[in-house]
Amino acid sequence: MAKEMKNKEITDMNVDFAQWYTDVCRKAELIEYASVKGFTILRPYGYAIWENIQRIMDAEFKKTGHVNVAMPVLIPESLLKKEGELVNGFAPECAWVTEGGSEKLEERLAFRPTSETMFCDHWANVLQTYRQLPMLYNQWCSVIRWEKTTRPFLRSREFWWQEGHTIHETAEEALAETEQQLNLYADFCEKVLAMPVVKGRKTEKEKFAGAVATYSIESMMKDHKALQSATSHYFGDKFSRAYGVTYTGRDNTLKYPFQTSWGSTTRLIGAVIMTHGDNNGLVLPPAIAPIQVVVLPIAQHKPGVLEKSEEVVKAIEASGIRVKGDFSDNSAGWKFSEWEMKGVPLRIELGPRDIEANQCVVARRDNGEKVTVSLDELVAKLPELLQKVRDGLYEKALANLNEHTYAATEVSEVKSIMDNGGGFVKTMWCGNEECEVRMKELAGVSSRNIPFAQEHIADTCPVCGQKADKMVVWGIAY
Amino acid sequence: MAKEMKNKEITDMNVDFAQWYTDVCRKAELIEYASVKGFTILRPYGYAIWENIQRIMDAEFKKTGHVNVAMPVLIPESLLKKEGELVNGFAPECAWVTEGGSEKLEERLAFRPTSETMFCDHWANVLQTYRQLPMLYNQWCSVIRWEKTTRPFLRSREFWWQEGHTIHETAEEALAETEQQLNLYADFCEKVLAMPVVKGRKTEKEKFAGAVATYSIESMMKDHKALQSATSHYFGDKFSRAYGVTYTGRDNTLKYPFQTSWGSTTRLIGAVIMTHGDNNGLVLPPAIAPIQVVVLPIAQHKPGVLEKSEEVVKAIEASGIRVKGDFSDNSAGWKFSEWEMKGVPLRIELGPRDIEANQCVVARRDNGEKVTVSLDELVAKLPELLQKVRDGLYEKALANLNEHTYAATEVSEVKSIMDNGGGFVKTMWCGNEECEVRMKELAGVSSRNIPFAQEHIADTCPVCGQKADKMVVWGIAY
């Protein structure tokens, strides 16, 4: 009976979006809270989504010559401190190991908040000649940042991510890598997660601690807030110099390599939830759905229904699609709600009359549309239907982004937009950090990025009225 | 010039096996030391081996219904302490986080040394009914154990592993799981790593802290020492009771589930090195080799050689085999040594005369055997040749195991075997821990396990002379 009730407990997203989000995370069994404050558990269904993200993204990294490594999780405080800006950025949110075995350590060790320092330390050790460059490294691991307030996937003391770290002979190559990886993330979000993004460069105020330049992709959630979905950083030779990473160049002199890093995290799952989810729960893009198709027998006690359903499941499975048949004794209504809650892209309904007519009904999770498909053609048609779900999700998300992206020339206009449903607001900007801070004070928004796709909205900065030639996109960020 | 010398620096394994091992780990670029004492870095080539191990083993886990999850890395001391034996076993080697952000924590948090406690805590939270059982969970992660002396792959303060944790309705099911997973490990070692193992049960003295029973697989290294390659534990309902994990059973009463855990680590890479390696370096079983076939052009300055070599590489790549062509300007001699050092199973040599005759030479890394293969048949023949390398490695390793496994009826005999080259020694055992301890004192060996394949060697225990009906295998363990 408890199970019969379960689906009904989800909060309406229009009433309380934050509560709706937490409900989905827990009712779809993606996460559970751990008894350590601020930490979450990725449950099998949540982790399976992450596994799909990892598999697809990792293959993309490898196509462009990147290789995986594993760096130690603990960083000596002295090593972390070698680059001043980085340590200032991260030290306040580090978890510190101070005892090992039964002894007090002579030096505190930070649980990695990010691993630039470890990669540099390693490179200083192994890099000798330009022939070894570029080094294109990545690692999949978890990191800790001691956040005060936490939310599943979005802000958690421990989260899972990949961090790419590369070194190159020239600044141009490193900059090209930084852009290439940002584009890879953007393509991944659009094609795999069906989530449109705004690509751009972070302002000096918002960039990564220690970076020369930070690029980001920003996505719009259903509540019109912004979610920074991945970042890519260019470091110049700052870290190389701080950590003594050198090599003998083509001209036989000692040189410092140019460096990048780029990362994406389990936060992408939060982005997917808030981009595609609805009041029935999770809606998953097919490429990352642990179950792409669920087969539900209707009136399964009738002769032949279960057998035929199992046959259909096997045929779909053999085609390489991730499929599940729900042959439990729960009611059909319960099953419909359960698999909608879990966001399965396609639901196949198969009852006695369908079987008689050698057909089934396929329902799309993204828009509820139902089509009747001949059982002979089912397996061949599913990839196309899955693609339609992805396309449908992308179109809806793009419409949301477009409908809630505004251009403004006055600060009051920005404030009024944010007071009336919010969204992304494009304005010109003079480039002064003071105006950026002032915009936050006056309109409650922070700069998301300076989009690569620039537009000329006005001649002047809406804050100071001075000449402005950069367009910034503003929003309220997760 | 430095590179020309590199291969020559490896120590002879017959002169100093330990130094040979370390040399291989570093010269084959599997690992590097980190600046944190006792921690190592898995470099791209080493990590690629681990990725192959993970991919193959994970698929096996999933075939038997296991799913992956991610548990928090930090465990509150109070949670760790709930099961007395476990905490006694692990607390002395934990790394403790005592500061988070800029504040002292109220309670110390241990970096996971193993995660039984976290899984139990989670299950206590989410388990309600027998319908949810069994729960067959696994996670891939790193753990920390604050070892005093460390060696690459074998004993490191941080290491990478998988830890499976399952709960079941009945003791029988849990025991069957424990055995199933041990058999999975044994099959993996034999088929994938080409490494024969001895399956058996650990004595009470050697079992895992808190377990009712521990099963292990033991492998013999080239120096005749034993390496415990994986373990599988049965906990009964001890942890369930300690952590309050309960569910409503089929008879509507509250019950405690029965639990298992099982693990294997990056130590398997150490096992592979010491099982198959030789004085030319690493020798990799094809299934886990990052590069299965290396193509070396001979006299590559001659017209057509590079072009044909590239063509061959592409054809092999298209067949799904992991191949690399070394077209660098290093000498052929250097390349031979380099790829032997890295343990690539098959080397293809392709020179002008070969090309003229439409053939190439394929050399096996395991025994140096060379065969001439027509270029038309090459791609079709490679899988068979790779299988031959695996079989060749397995046969050699099995011969080593058989030749250095002895039966003994006297302690003095055990000592004499250990003094003369060592190996595995099978003796009867009365079952008393005192005799086990005494054997160590007198002959320098510890019990490896009580093999499932029992033999009757004598009627009495060689230590106390009392009646004995168990056969134990003894050895010196890594």
Q: Inter-chain contact A137–B95, Cβ cutoff 8 Å?
A: no
Q: How confident is the model at residue A2 (pLDDT cuts 50, 70, 90)?
A: very low
CA dist A183 → A78, A200, A276, A473, B420 (Å):
35, 10, 22, 18, 63
Tokens found for residue B104: 């002292």
* Helices and strands (H and E) in chain B: how many: 15, 23
Cα B114 to Cα B210: distance, rounded to the nearest angstrom: 12
Burial class of residue B372, CB neighbours in 10 A (0-12, 13-18, 19+): exposed
- pLDDT, tens digit, 9 for 90 and up, residues A85-101: 888 888 889 999 999 99
Q: How confident is the model at residue A146 (pLDDT cuts 50, 70, 90)?
A: very high
pLDDT > 80? residue A451: yes
Residues 6+ apart with CB under 8 A from A78: A107
CA dist A157 → A33, A160, B87, B235 (Å):
12, 10, 25, 31
- pLDDT, tens digit, 9 for 90 and up, residues A433-443: 999 999 999 99
- pLDDT, tens digit, 9 for 90 and up, residues A322-356: 999 999 999 999 999 999 999 999 999 999 999 99
Q: Inter-chain contact A72–B34, Cβ cutoff 8 Å?
A: yes
B472: left (phi over 0), alpha (psi -120 to 50) or beta: beta
If you measure CA to CA, which chain B residue comes closest to A160?
A: B70
- Using alpha carbons, select from B44, B39, B270, B94 the residue that is nearest to residue A72: B39
pLDDT > 80? residue A1: no
> Can you list the residues of chain B whose pLDDT is less than 70?
1-8
Quick one: average pLDDT of A192-212?
96
Question: Which among A42, A67, A121 is the nearest to B48, CB-wise?
Answer: A67
If you measure CA to CA, which chain A residue comes closest to B160?
A: A70
Question: Which among B47, B74, B96 is the nearest to A39, CB-wise?
Answer: B74
Cα B104 to Cα B114: distance, rounded to the nearest angstrom: 24
Structure letter (DSSP) for residue B2: H
Q: How confident is the model at residue A61 (pLDDT cuts 50, 70, 90)?
A: very high
Three-point CA angle A324, A273, A472, nearest 5°? 145
- Which residues numbered 34-73 in A keep a CB inside 8 Å of some CB on B? 34-36, 39-44, 47-48, 50-51, 67-73
Tokens found for residue B148: 């005093």
Burial class of residue A240, CB neighbours in 10 A (0-12, 13-18, 19+): buried
- The predicted pLDDT at position A102 comes to 87
- pLDDT, tens digit, 9 for 90 and up, residues A404-419: 999 999 999 999 999 9
Q: What is the DSSP string of B362-400?
A: EEETTT--EEEEETTTHHHHHHHHHHHHHHHHHHHHHHH
Tokens found for residue A182: 């940002």
- The predicted pLDDT at position B1 comes to 36
Residues of A in contact with B123 (CB under 8 A): none
- The predicted pLDDT at position A9 comes to 82
Residues 6+ apart with CB under 8 A from B63: none
Does residue B134 have a cis peptide bond before it, meaning omega lies within 30 degrees of 0?
Answer: yes
- pLDDT, tens digit, 9 for 90 and up, residues A277-297: 999 999 999 999 999 999 999
A251 contact B CB<8A:
no
Packing angle, helices A378-403 and A305-318, rounded to 10: 70
Residues of B in contact with A143 (CB under 8 A): none
Nearest-neighbour CA in chain A from B391: distance (Å): 29
Task: Write the single-letter amino acid at B212.
Answer: V
Q: Inter-chain contact B71–A41, Cβ cutoff 8 Å?
A: yes
- The predicted pLDDT at position B7 comes to 53
The whole model's pTM is what? 0.96
CB contact at 8 A, B230 and B185: yes
Question: C-alpha A13: how far from its chain's center?
Answer: 21
- The predicted pLDDT at position B102 comes to 87
- The predicted pLDDT at position A88 comes to 85
Percent of chain A residues past pLDDT 70, beyond the cut? 98
* Helix (H), strand (E) at residue B127: none
Count of C-beta atoms within a 10 Å radius of residue B163: 22
Quick one: average pLDDT of A10-14?
95
Cα A222 to Cα A278: distance, rounded to the nearest angstrom: 9
- The predicted pLDDT at position B87 comes to 83
- The predicted pLDDT at position A3 comes to 44
Cα A399 to Cα A71: distance, rounded to the nearest angstrom: 42
The rounded mean pLDDT for chain A is: 96
If you measure CA to CA, which chain A residue comes closest to B290?
A: A67
CB contact at 8 A, A248 and A193: no
Q: Inter-chain contact B35–A121, Cβ cutoff 8 Å?
A: yes
CB contact at 8 A, A275 and A260: no
- The predicted pLDDT at position B96 comes to 97
CB contact at 8 A, B60 and B314: no
pLDDT > 80? residue A144: yes
| Residue B9 phi, psi dihedral angles, 5° rounding | -80, -5
Residue B232 bridge partners (DSSP): B215, B262
- The predicted pLDDT at position B2 comes to 40
